[in-house]
Amino acid sequence: MASACRKSNPEEQVIDPVQEPVTASAGLISTSATFPKSDEAFVLTFDAAKGNKALQGKSTEVYLYAGLITDKSANLSDWKYVKSPAFNTADPAVKMKAAGPDKYEISISPRTFFGVPAAEKILGMVMLFKTADGQLVSRNADGSDIYLPLYNNGQFALKLTSPELSATAVPVPVVNVTAIGQELYVSGAASMAADLRLLLNNEAFATAPNATAIAGRVKVTKGGVQKITLEGNANGIKLTTTIELIATETAQVAALPAGAKDGVVFLNGGTSAILTLTAPEKSNVYALGSFNGWQAGASMMKKTPDGKKWWLQLDGLDANKAYTYQFLVDGNLKVADPYSEVVLDPDNDQYLSGAQLSGLPDYPAGQTSGIVSVMQANRPSYTFKNKAFNRPEKNKLVIYELHLRDFLKSNNYNTLTDTLDYLTKLGVNAIELMPVNEFEGNSSWGYNTSFHFAPDKYYGSKQMLQRFIDECHGRGIAVILDMVLNHAFGQSPMVQLYFDKGASKPAANSPWFNADPTHPYNVGYDFNHESAATKSYVKDVMRFWMEEYKIDGYRFDLSKGFTQKNSGTSDASVNAWNAYDASRIAIWNDYNNYIKSIDANNFYVILEHFAADNEEKELSDKGMMLWNNLNGSFNEATMGYLDGSDFSRGFFGTHGFSGSNNLISYMQSHDEERTMTKNLAYGNVSGSYSVKDLNTALKREELAAAFFFTIPGPKMLWQFQELGYDVSINTNGRTGEKPVYWNYYQQPARKALYNAYSKFINLKKKNPVFNTTNLQFGVAGAVKYIKLTDADNVVVVVGNFDVTNRAANVDFGTAGIWYEAGSSQTLNLGSSTYSQNLAPGEYHIYSKRPLLN
């Protein structure tokens, strides 16, 4: 190499580019042309061993999925002329040809390939690479889309081709330099002959007059941000292009200051802040953001003596200003703060309305890529008014589970607050919100959570959610959050910090996640709840929502997954997963005790568990509440089929529980097919009596509700169940958006069901007999009954679930006058036995003393 050099001085050299040829990119993609043009053919090569490595080593067909950025695009996310629109199918037009181990190529002439009119200017190509079914997708290492600038004939352009860069759609590359004193090889290219210079921190180290390529070597002599610049002058036109590198310095070791904790802690009236990140085994961490002009090496964080946490104090802040920031870890990974209360997402926020983004700073476009965090000392705040709220007793709890997206067309907390009259009249005393923590995308059930401290902007702001909870408390309604802590998804900074890109799963040294899930039905990446780091994080999440939002309970999604006992992940391993697990009980006892240490005032800890009865009994004995799915048996009963209609599992004694307080039964939740959907599709028919008839099907729902609500114990219903919502769960995909039919409330037959629900709920709440543990029942046959006895009253519920007339013979225990609930009618029994022919769907609720309603 030295023989090819002509030295002019020790700092500056001219290098013959023939000795080290310059390619268009040494990274995830490369092109046969250094400056690929929009109107000329070139070969695009994809290296599956680079980027996120999702396709590395896969013996599979690879397809390009791409679009263009043109002068008609609103931004770099506004793809035009997408090839091909069907992401999950094979398109021969974009199939790549194998070109060696982990290499694939395709020939493209962009304007022809994408079908772009001649008058439209093409600026660049944005792409991914995938398998035919779209299950495996190769992107940049940071998860961003791959961007390739395209050029026009005669256009003067410059490009730095080495060090290797990511082809990000927002090209702000940061390349880590391993150590001070390292010599760098730098190369660049020009689209036409020009006088070229390479500079390090504004000092030239290589020149190439009247050339189209340049290369040189330079030694890094100091730490922090290094700026490498390529300058070019062609016929008086001057251009520059710059990349930033970081020469890593030895991290300063210092104890975490008093009061600091993960996330942000403000000091000195908000003019100072301590940022803290848990990231053991990392070599260096920099904070970058609007407080330092997004300079990648300007703010190196200190490491705690145990090597587990990184921290930095920022001074001179404006307490009223919102700052955006990220962490740069080991020079090659930029992540948001896992403890963020607000994040900005360049991919998804663009689809939100102005109201959803109101009060938030703009995304720092052109300065970074990926999700960024927002911090502000003096944020808008909400003052709670209803501070003396007493949570309903567990046995009187009637929970209304709702998904805000599919409950209101406006899907925001303010409209939900304005809708509370509807729920108050219905009589529910608790609302369970499906997950509202920041999740991937905008429209979702919310179980793909990524930032547990941030409410998703899709539904509104923190203050809007706080106001909703406060208004609920003012009406005697508790608010329960569906909390997803079994897993997280790839958008989570904690997942990204320790991720094995080649295997597409968490790395073995992750402080929080299992490399492989320990149980069936896992989604996302599985938390290790025996890890001290996970326990600390989970407890921080629990405390935060309890203190900041005054919520009244958690429904923990997939709570049975909180185990390190590896039962396997196949369907055949479900029984092993369901079996008694002492280690899982220990995990839940620890979390339950922690919650009680924060709020011992009847805070609801609800588990979606479905484990062995003896395990659930043990958890119940500690005060935890268990979901109890009665959808199958009750739906068989509403459809008029007797086999499988035994809903005796609704009674606490069949579970071995000592009382009914902790068994939350439901006929529908978000997860089951709607009972009315099956009534209308599959209902039984006998003569003129057809459960497929809408009015008959609604009366069958009323029959079921009469039994459901009179069984002692807390109850839950799914949104619009009280109106006979009959849109299948699979409409628009299982988790897809469903139509919102508030007009159902105006239809007499559906409004009658709502009124019946309201009546049953009020009976349950106002009459202690429905909390009794003294009961008998027979719910296996056509005629079903429940008998409830306490010191002041006896109630008997009887009904015919067949589709033909049936004779009822039920021992009421005593003769005499019995009062029918909700009616002025009385029943005078000559003996203790009730003998009556009941029409199909007919039911009665009788009591020895009149019931309050």
The torsion angles phi and psi of 157, rounded to 5 degrees, stand at -145, 155
Q: Which residues pair with 219 in a beta bridge?
A: 183
Q: What angle do CA 702, 704, 705 make, to 5 degrees?
A: 65
Per CATH, 263-375 and 771-847 having the same topology is answered yes
Q: How far is CA 551 from CA 22, 249, 714, 765, in A?
A: 60, 45, 18, 22
Give me the CATH code for the 771-847 domain, please.
2.60.40.1180
pLDDT in tens, 342-378: 999 998 999 999 889 999 999 998 888 899 999 999 9
- When the candidates are 3.30.70.100, 2.160.20.10, 2.60.40.10, 3.90.1150.10, the CATH number that belongs to 263-375 is 2.60.40.10
Contact 15, 4 (CB under 8 A): yes
Contact between 163 and 27 (Cβ < 8 Å): no
Strands 12-15 and 80-83 come out as unpaired
Q: How far, in Å, are 2, 76, 79 from residue 349 at the CA level?
A: 52, 13, 16
Q: What pLDDT does 581 receive?
A: 98
Q: Place 140 in a pLDDT band, splitting at 50, 70 and 90.
A: confident
Token pair 């709890």 in the structure block, residue:
397
Which tens digit of pLDDT belongs to each residue from 193-248? 999 999 999 999 999 999 999 999 999 888 877 889 999 999 999 999 988 778 87
> In this structure, are residues 665 and 650 in contact, taking their beta carbons and an 8 Å threshold?
yes
Q: Which string of DSSP letters, residue by residue, matches 623-670?
A: T-EEEEE-HHHHHHHHHT--TT---GGGSGGGGT-SSSTTEEEES--T
Q: How confident is the model at residue 165 (pLDDT cuts 50, 70, 90)?
A: low
CB atoms within 10 A of CB 375: 25
pLDDT bucket at 176, cuts 50 / 70 / 90: low
Q: Which CATH class is domain 394-624?
A: alpha beta
Structure tokens at 331: 């020079």
Q: Locate tokens 């992940």: which residue? A: 569
CA distances from 597 to 539, 541, 557, 602, 621 (A): 11, 14, 22, 12, 18
Whole-angstrom Cα distance, residue 783 to residue 800?
5
Q: The tokens of 829 are what?
A: 């029994």
Read off the amino acid at residue 717.
L
Neighbour-count burial of 785, counting CB atoms closer than 10 A to its CB (0-12 exposed, 13-18 middle, 19+ buried): buried
Beta partners for residue 234, in sequence order: 237
The CATH number given to 36-154 is 2.60.40
Query: Given phi > 0 = left and psi -120 to 50 = alpha, else beta, which region is 455?
Result: beta
The residues spanned by each domain of the chain are: 36-154, 263-375, 394-624, 771-847
Q: Are the CB atoms for 490 and 497 separated by under 8 Å? A: no
Neighbours of 115 (CB within 10 A): 10
Is 438 a residue whose pLDDT tops 50? Answer: yes
Q: Where are the alpha helices (DSSP H) in 362-509?
A: 404-407, 413-418, 420-426, 462-474, 493-497
- Quick one: average pLDDT of 757-774? 98
Name the pLDDT band for 292 (thresholds 50, 70, 90): very high
Query: Is 770:786 a contact under the CB 8 Å cutoff?
Result: no
| pLDDT at residue number 175 | 55
Helices (H), 668-814: 675-682, 694-710, 748-766
Q: Is the pLDDT of residue 256 over 70?
A: yes
Between these two residues, 609 and 169, which has the higher pLDDT value?
609
Across residues 84-105, what is the average pLDDT? Answer: 92
Tokens at 344, concatenated: 């900005």
Distance of alpha carbon 526 from alpha carbon 519, whole angstroms: 9
Give the relative orientation of helices 694-710 and 631-639 as an angle to the nearest 10 degrees: 140
For the segment 368-391, the average pLDDT, to the nearest whole number, is 95
Amino acid at position 10, single letter: P
Give the whole-angstrom CA distance, residue 726 versus residue 693. 12
